[in-house]
Every structure is written in structure tokens, then in C-alpha cells.
Chain A
Amino acid sequence: MDRSINLRVQSLFMSPAALVAVGIVLPPLCYVLFTSFQGDAGPLSAYIAILESNLFRQTLTTTLVVASLSSVLSLVLGYIVALHLAKQSPNRRTALMFLILLPFWTSILVKCFAFTIILGRYGIINNLLRWASGIDVQLPLVLNRVGLLVGMTNFLVPLVVLPVLASLLAIDSALYRAASVMGAKPARIFWTVTVPLSVPGVVAGLLSVFVMSLGAFVIPALLGGPKDQMLSNLVDFYNREVLDWPKASSISVILLILASIFIVPMALWRRRRI
């Protein structure tokens, strides 16, 4: 009874946002779905052609590898940042959070160009190494897998920090006191208390970061090399270079299904926890 009223009120408040989202997202999505079945040789021809093409298979592999690697890298870096933040006083934490979110509010294009300056052949890092070693160092740091991962990780870290920090702050500090009185050393406390109790944040962070990186477009285009192009770039390729819209649409649909495979279990898992 109480719950149903609550639900009605909730849906009332959520309806404007939901209507806008549905109105803006759903029609183009339906159009994409429709187009993907408009192949030259029958409704499924675009899908068959795409699934049989080597280019698609390679790009799919690249996408999955890059998404996994950048998710894991941003998890490791983000976890360390979150650990540090959790130990600060609330005021200091707010200030540091601002610094972490600052790059998040910066245009992704600007950040990518900044990285080409930092990582380039005559960029800051190579110049610094050249100056320090006296040898003409020209490490290939950009327009390849390294540059792509740096850019992706930089973009994703804040997204890991937030959920992990929330999990860490939810741990009762008496547990740490109890563990240390019972004779546990810091490393044991970390592995037996901190890590298991931050799993909800880690899973939430990891999945959202992975799904975000599946759809990466600007970063691989600007910081990756020709072999580092991802599915979104392939959609762009079929869309603007080849002008084969059914194929572009079918890749989009496949990408959407791929993302859903990861998002749906996460949504269900969260719901179970609430």
C-alpha cells in the first residue's frame, strides 16, 4: 500500500525525464534497427556480411581487449585514489574530489589533444627522457595502443573512484580497530576487510567503465593507431567512407547488444542489493 503510493509518486516525478529520454533516444534507435535490415540481398544480409568480415572480427577483438585492459587499469589506479580519499578528513576529501572531477568536466577532445602534446614524438615525456639520458629518445607513445590506453584510462578513472569511494566510506571504522586489536597486520586487514567489503563498488565501477569503453569513439580516433580502431570507429567508417548504412546500422545494433549483456546483469545485481 505504502509502497505503491511511493511508486506512483516516484513515476510522476520521473516521467518528464523519462519522456525526454524516450523521445530523443527511441526514434533514432528504431530507425537504426530498421536500417540494419535494409541490406541489398535480404533483411539479414548486412548482418551476415558483417559477421563474416575479417575487419569486423578484428575490430571486435580490439574493442574487447582495449575495453578490458583500460577497465582493469582504471580500476587499479582508481582504487588507489579512492583508498587515499577515504582516509582524508571530509573537507580535504571534498577539495580532492573537485580536483579529480576537474578533468571529467573538460572536453574529451581537449584532453586528447593535450595527450598528443604530452606523449608525442617531440612531446613532454620524450623531451624529458632525452634531456635526462642525453640520447635521442623517440618512444612511440601516441597513435598506438599505449596512447589509446593512456587516454582511455585517464577518462575512466573518475568513474571508478566514485563507486569505490562510496563502498570504502561505508565500511565501519570499528572493523579496522577490531582487526588490529585481534592481531592482524595492515596487509591482512587490507585483504580481509577492505577488499571484500569494497566489492560492490568495484563491480559497479568496473562494469560501468567497461560498458563506457565499449562505445569509445573519439579517443581511439585521436590517440590510437590504425590497428587500434574500435567498433564505433568502424560504424563511422561504414557510415561516412563507404556510405553503407545497413552495415553501419547492424554494427551499431551488435554493439548495443554487447553493452546490454553487461549492463542488464549489473542492474539486476544492484536491485538485489537494494
Chain B
Amino acid sequence: MRINNAPSGEAISLRGISKAFGSVTVLKATELTVKKSEFLTLLGPSGSGKTTLLNLIAGAIAPSSGEILLSGRNITRLPPRDRGIGMVFQSYALMPHMTVFENVAYPLRARREPSETIRRKVLDALDRVGLKGFEDRKPRQLSGGQQQRVGIARCIVYSPDIIMMDEPLGALDKNLREQMQTEIKRLHHELGTTIIYVTHDQEEALNMSDRICLMKTGEIAQLGTPDELYFRPNSRFVAEFIGESNLLLGKITAVNRVSIDGAGLVHVPSSERALGSEVLVMVRPEKMQVSAAQADTLAGHNWLHGTVEGISFIGGMTRITVKTVQGVSVTAKLVSGPASTRPELGSEVKLSWSPAESVVLSA
């Protein structure tokens, strides 16, 4: 067992870490703590600083300021080889001239482990990723998914404190990607390794993570569980980046009321914002109900009148775009039914939602 003097449960801790190239700051001073055995995803559009953060932890680049603590030890100035980190690459980065066995054995040979231990560990790691019997193949004889399994086996074989995955499924097609997501989750569950996962795919992030760190232009936009980011986004950026959202501009008129521009009052969850301040009321499309214009509204529900502007049937869900009387486009997502049950294009409808399903954001 490794002796650990870290504050219990802390795998990695970034303290005021920042990075600037010349006068361009790509990562502002950032605080981030990843718990032991946590699956943390760095999510964000390209240029948001997520890859910079990953490279800082891996030691590929040196920070401009701040410290990195790995299990309590300061690794800020350590070269990558002494950090004891595992990394999975988008391009797999397997040694093309080595067999699968030698690829997985590489980190153990670098650690000069006895050949018997190497054989046992390599076969065990390959078994875990479902590649038993592939030891003698060369990487080019494997499919993309199999190659990435080798990439993962190569990490878990030396039990690093944390494994970082840089868009590991980015080069795979959709079905395979979903299958690999499930497998990575299973491995994480079995091994209990801390994983830092980089992706720009929000569905992947929601599906896999314990916590998501959403990045925007070199800083953390929101850090929280997938639920928190989806149901309680803290800004317009988060609400728009994760999932679909309707954003209605308005002014606070009471603790729990907002006057939507040109559409009258709506009820919202209570907030402590100043009266008269400009806000956005966010409602997820799947929380919107669509009914006939004359239908009664459920007690306490908010509603808007509008005309159906577009209908798209996309399988399990049907997306309906409604243009309100005031000219705002609002989207509702309904569980699909046959065409006869859908509202007709151009027909008058009523949109309604429960105040509890809305979130008030700063405009």
C-alpha cells in the first residue's frame, strides 16, 4: 500500500494555477480540487482552456503561477515521467512497432519491474479491457475501439494515482463511442481510480461524470454534478452549453415574479435579486407543455400564447417551435406520438410550465 499523507480524499489540487503565453492568458488563476476516486470531466468549447489544464497536470507545459498537488505532494516542477500519472490520448499514441503486449508492458519496463510481474500485470490489464488473446497483434491490426482499449490498459497496468483522458473517444463513431463510455464507467467503478476526462461532448460529460467542470475562455464557468449543471445552471453560458434551453428576458417585479418583456408576469422560484434588475428566465424545452389555445392552464402554471412555427420529429422526441404573440421563439420538446396527435403547423397553441421548472439567471 502507498503511504499517503494527503488530506483525506484529495487526489489532485490546483492552487491558483494559471498559464499565459506571452501576453495571452489561456488559463486564469484557477482553484480546483479533485476527490479520490472521482470522475471529473473538463468540458468546454475549443479554446476554453480545458486542454491547457490537462497539459498542466500532465506536465507537458509549466504553469505561469500556482501549485499542483498530487496526493499531497507538490508536483508543479516535476517532469512528466516522475508524476505517476496515466494518460489516454485521442490519437491513441500506441507504439506502432510494438505488439499489444509490449505496448501495455512499456510503463512497467520503464519502472524495471521483473518480467514475471510484467507478464501477470499485462495479461490482467488486457483481460480487464476485454482484449484477452490480442497480445501478439500490432496496433494497426486493431480497430479504433480496440486500439483505445490498449491505450486504457496501458494506463491501468501501472495503477497511477490519476488517469487523464484527452477526448479519448473523439475518433470513434457514435455507437462505438457509447459502448466505450459504458466500459470506461465500468472500469472506473471497478478500479476506483481518479479520472480526469476532457471532452467537448456535453452528452458524454453528463453520462459519465461525478462532477463536471465547465470551462469558458480560460476560467471555470461552473463546477458541479451533472444534475446541478443541467437543472441549476448559474449563467446563460452554462444554460446554453448544456442541453437546450429557452431564455426569456424580463425584469424582477417581486421575490418570485418576473415580468417577461411584452408577455406579462410569470412565477419563478424565489430569489434575492433586486427589484427591477434584468434577468433571464430559463425553461428546458422538455418542461414546456403544449396544449390547445383554449385549454385551461393548470393552477399555478405559467403560460404563453403562440403559433406553431416548426415541428421536427426526431425519433423519441418531437421538437415544436412556437412563436409567441410578442415575437419570441420558444421551443418545446414532447415525447413523440403519431402525427395525428401533434399540433398542426400554424395553429394557435398555449405553452405552459411549472414555476419550479424555471431558473432565474442574470441577463
In angstroms, Cα B164 to Cα A182, docked, is: 12
Distance from B195 Cβ to chain A, minimum over Cβ atoms (Å): 15
Provide the residues of chain A in CB contact with B224, threshold 8 Å.
none
Contacts A172-B91, A174-B89, A177-B80; A182 near B158 (Cβ below 8 A): yes
A193 near B: Cβ within 8 Å? Answer: yes
Contacts of A184 in B (CB 8 A): 81, 106-107, 110
Stretch at the interface among B92-100, B305-313, B336-344: B92-100
Pick from A172, A178, A179 the residue with the most CB of B within 10 Å: A178
Inter-subunit contact A182/B110 (CB<8 Å): yes
Let me know if B60 and A177 touch, CB within 8 A.
Answer: yes
Q: How far is the CB of B269 from chain A (nearest CB, A)?
A: 46
A188 touching B110, Cβ below 8 Å? yes
**B263 interface residue (CB < 8 Å to A):** no
**Taking A174-B89, A177-B80 as contacts, is the C-beta distance between A182 and B107 under 8 angstroms?**
yes
A interface residue numbers (CB < 8 A to B): 172, 174-175, 177-185, 188, 192-193, 196-197
Residues 33-51 of B, flagged 1 when their CB comes within 8 A of A and 0 if not, give: 0000000000000000000
Give the chain A neighbours of B59 by CB distance below 8 A.
181
Evaluate whether A175 and B81 lie within 8 angstroms (CB atoms) in the complex, with A182-B107, A183-B107, A184-B106 already known. Answer: no
| Chain A residues with CB below 8 A from B86, complex form | 181-182
- Bound: A174/B91 CA distance, A: 8
Chain A residue at minimum C-beta to C-beta distance from B87: A181
B81 partner residues in chain A, CB cutoff 8 A: 180-185
Closest to A176 in B: B93
Q: Could you mark each residue 117-157 of chain B with 1 if its beta carbon is under 8 Å from any beta carbon of chain A, else 0?
A: 00000000000000000000000000000000000001000
Cβ–Cβ contact B97 & A172, under 8 A: no
A184: shortest Cβ distance to chain B, in Å? 4
Cα separation A172 to B90 with both chains bound (whole Å)? 13
Contact present for A197 and B154 (CB under 8 Å): no
CA distance A158 to B89 in the complex (A): 36
For the complex of A and B, 6 pairs with smallest distance between CB atoms = A182-B107, A174-B93, A178-B93, A183-B110, A184-B110, A181-B87
How close is B342's CB to chain A, nearest CB, in angstroms? 49
- Docked complex Cα distance between A194 and B84 (Å): 23
Known interface pairs A180-B81, A192-B95; 10 further A-B residue pairs with C-beta atoms within 8 A, sorted by A's residue number:
A180-B79, A181-B85, A182-B106, A182-B110, A183-B111, A185-B81, A192-B106, A193-B95, A197-B96, A197-B97
Interface string of B143-182 (1 = CB under 8 A from A): 0000000000010001000000000000000000000000
Q: B158 CB to closest chain A CB, in angstroms? A: 7
Q: Which residues of B contact A192 (CB under 8 A)?
A: 95, 106
Give bound CA distance, A197 to B97, whole Å: 7
Question: How distant is B178 from chain A, measured CB to nearest CB, in Å?
Answer: 25
Q: Which residue of B lies closest to A174 (CB)?
A: B93
Residue of A nearest to B102 (CB): A192
Chain A interface main SS type: helix
Could you jot down 13 A-B contacts, CB within 8 Å? A172-B93, A174-B93, A175-B95, A178-B87, A178-B93, A179-B106, A180-B79, A180-B81, A181-B85, A182-B110, A182-B154, A183-B84, A197-B96
Q: Annotate B293-327 by CB proximity to A: 1 below 8 A, 0 otherwise.
A: 00000000000000000000000000000000000
Interface centre among B60, B81, B107 (most CB of A within 10 A): B81
Complex contact B106–A175 (CB within 8 A)? no
Contact B58 A181 (CB under 8 A): yes
Q: Kindly list chain B residues whose C-beta atoms are within 8 Å of the C-beta of A188.
A: 110
Most chain B C-beta atoms within 10 Å of own C-beta, residue among A182, A184, A185, A197: A182
- How far is it, in angstroms, between the C-alpha of A185 and the C-alpha of B95 when the chains are bound? 16
Most A-side CB within 10 Å, residue of B83, B110, B111, B154 = B110
Which residues of B lie under 8 Å from residue A181 when comparing CB positions? 58-59, 80-81, 83, 85-87
A187 to chain B, nearest CB (A): 11
> B97 touching A196 by the CB < 8 A rule?
yes
CB-defined contacts of B83 to chain A, threshold 8 Å: 181
CB contact list, B57-89 vs A, under 8 A: 58-60, 79-87, 89
A174 to B89, CA, bound (A): 8
Q: How far is the CA of A183 from the CA of B86 in the complex (A)?
A: 9
B110 touches A175 (CB 8 A): no
B79: which A residues are within 8 A, CB to CB? 180
Interface core residue of A174, A188, A197 (most chain B CB under 10 Å):
A174
Chain B residues whose CB sits within 8 angstroms of the CB of A177 once the complex forms: 58, 60, 80, 87, 89, 93
Measured CB to CB, the closest approach of chain A to B59, in angstroms, equals: 8
- The complex places the Cα of A178 from the Cα of B104 at a distance, in Å, of 12
Q: Which chain A residues border B84 with CB–CB below 8 Å?
A: 183
* Chain A residues closer than 8 Å to B91, beta-carbon distance: 172, 174
| In the bound complex, CA of A174 to CA of B81 (Å) | 14
Give the CA-CA distance A34 to B96 in the complex, in Å: 50
CB distance from B95 to the nearest CB of A (A): 6
